Amino acid sequence: MWDFFETVRHRHSVRKYRSDSPVEKEKLHAILEMACAAPSAGDLQSYHIVVVETQTQRDSLSQAAEGQAFISEAPVCLVFCSDPHRAESEYGQRGRELFALQDTTIAAAYAQLAIVAAGMASTWVGSFDAPQVRELLELDTLNPDSPLQPVALLSIGYPAELPEPTPRRPLEKMISYR
């Protein structure tokens, strides 16, 4: 098992997945557990994760995401949705507008790292038609009292490619000490 630093260094966006290797239920469960272990404002966990495994729904998600084909090709797509009203109940407007979004993205980031630790890969997708995803997944029926907002799609599976690391800005351009 890799240590944390190696896990982070090996996380890359992968857009080609092996079609002969489904995601094992045990590994998927462990990934979801790690996502739900992420810190959240007031430990409210103001998010909901929809696991999409059917080909038809992954095809529809791909279309809702500007035709990004790898969403269809990956055996699983996790849809991370914020629950703004849950955070609002404790933190008011700031909870609704910020904390629920932060909670959701932190959970998705934990899932990405868990995916790498499990020997798989993922791609985070933020460019999609949110109303179309909401309708496709019937999000309004999952939590009628608190409408869920899709924030990120995370395609996951065993990689059929290992892309080269993308360049990163130098630390001195991004960090300031005071």
Q: How many alpha carbons fall within 13 Å on the CB side of residue 6?
A: 6
Residue 66, sorted as left (phi over 0), alpha (psi -120 to 50) or beta, turns out to be left
Q: Mean pLDDT for the chain?
A: 93
Alpha-carbon distance of 100 to 87, in angstroms, equals 6
Euclidean distance between CA atoms 130 and 139, whole angstroms: 11
Domain ranges of the chain: 4-160
Helix (H, G, I), strand (E, B) or coil at 117: helix
For the domain made up of 4-160, give the CATH fold: NADH Oxidase (3.40.109)
How does pLDDT run across 81-117, given as a tens digit for each residue?
A: 999 999 999 999 999 999 999 999 999 999 999 999 9
The answer to whether 139 and 150 are in contact (CB under 8 A) is yes
Model pLDDT for residues 60-84, shown as the tens digit of each residue: 999 999 999 999 999 999 999 999 9
pTM of the model: 0.92
Res 1 pLDDT > 60:
no
